[in-house]
């Protein structure tokens, strides 16, 4: 039977030093990952590490903040931490990938003119993207259906142009005690008149694991 290796007493100071250094590096990386500035430096997206509490429930949440030249433009209540920030070429829009640990990802699209969310988590567009992706994937693989869809994630990949964002659907399928596979599906989200509109899919990548 395999057992854990013991650390000799003489090695403890060295191990402690390494642990402290790793903690410092991870802390710095965590701080940097929670803030992202636009290429021009005009706008900043930030999710403070301190969680806030709901008065009516024990749940905690974080705040997604958009700032212009240092001043708070708008903030939205969310959960988790900042993962990726993608600015449109003209910096008119910003797509934010917000990680919620094992609960999946949130995808936001904010207007830098007023901070309004033109695409936010769990809206109608997310449902349409999920339904469209699952239906198209099932046409190519009959085992991949709503019945076998175990979990899915939606995040932003890149801006195709100033008003078109490429979003990725990743679906993991599970049946009969095993993972059938994970499929990646790329679709277009176009910002038109301040609203996010779902377009057709551009790439379909089977990724069996």
Q: In which region does residue 197 sit, left (phi positive, over 0), alpha (psi from -120 to 50) or beta (all else)?
A: beta
Q: Please tell me the predicted confidence (pLDDT) of residue 6.
A: 34
Q: Please tell me the predicted confidence (pLDDT) of residue 206.
A: 57
**Tokens coding 156:** 């932003």
Strand order in the sheet with 149-161: 149-161, 164-175, 178-192, 195-207
Q: Please tell me the predicted confidence (pLDDT) of residue 17.
A: 47
Residue-wise pLDDT for 71-119, tens only, equals 999 999 998 889 999 999 999 999 999 987 665 689 999 999 999 999 9
pLDDT less than 50: residues of the chain: 1-12, 14-33, 57-58, 208-209
| Cα–Cα distance, 166 to 155 (Å, whole number) | 9
User: Would you say the pTM of this structure is higher than 0.95?
Assistant: no
Please give, one letter per residue, the 3-state secondary structure of the chain.
CCCCCCCCHHHHHHHHHHHHHHHHHHHHHHHHHCEEECCCCCEEEECCCCCEECCCCCCEEEEEEEEECCEEEEEEEECCEEEEEEECCCCCEEEEEEECHHHCEEEEEEECCCCCEEECCCCHHHHHHHHHHHHHHHHHCCCCCCCCEEEEEEEEEEEEECCEEEEEEEEEEEECCEEEEEEEEEEEEEEECCEEEEEEEEEEEEECC
């Amino acid at each position: 039977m395999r057992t854990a290796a013991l650390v000799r007493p003489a090695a403890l100071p060295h191990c402690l030093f390494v642990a402290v250094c790793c903690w410092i590096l991870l802390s710095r990386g965590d701080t940097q990952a929670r803030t992202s500035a636009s290429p021009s430096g005009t706008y900043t997206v930030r999710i403070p590490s301190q969680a806030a509490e709901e008065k009516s429930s024990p749940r905690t949440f974080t705040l997604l903040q958009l700032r212009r030249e240092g001043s708070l433009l708008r903030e939205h209540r969310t959960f988790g931490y900042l993962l990726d920030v993608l600015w449109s070429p003209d910096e008119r829009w910003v797509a934010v990938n917000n990680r919620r640990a094992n609960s999946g990802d949130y995808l936001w699209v904010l207007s830098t003119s007023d901070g309004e969310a033109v695409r936010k988590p769990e809206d109608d567009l997310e449902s349409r993207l999920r339904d469209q992706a699952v239906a198209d994937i099932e046409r190519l693989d009959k085992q991949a259906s709503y019945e076998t869809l175990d979990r899915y994630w939606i995040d932003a990949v890149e801006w195709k142009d100033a008003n078109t964002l490429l979003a990725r659907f990743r679906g993991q399928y599970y049946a009969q005690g095993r993972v059938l596979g994970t499929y990646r599906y790329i679709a277009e989200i176009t910002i038109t008149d301040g609203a996010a509109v779902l377009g057709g899919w551009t790439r379909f990548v089977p990724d069996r694991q």
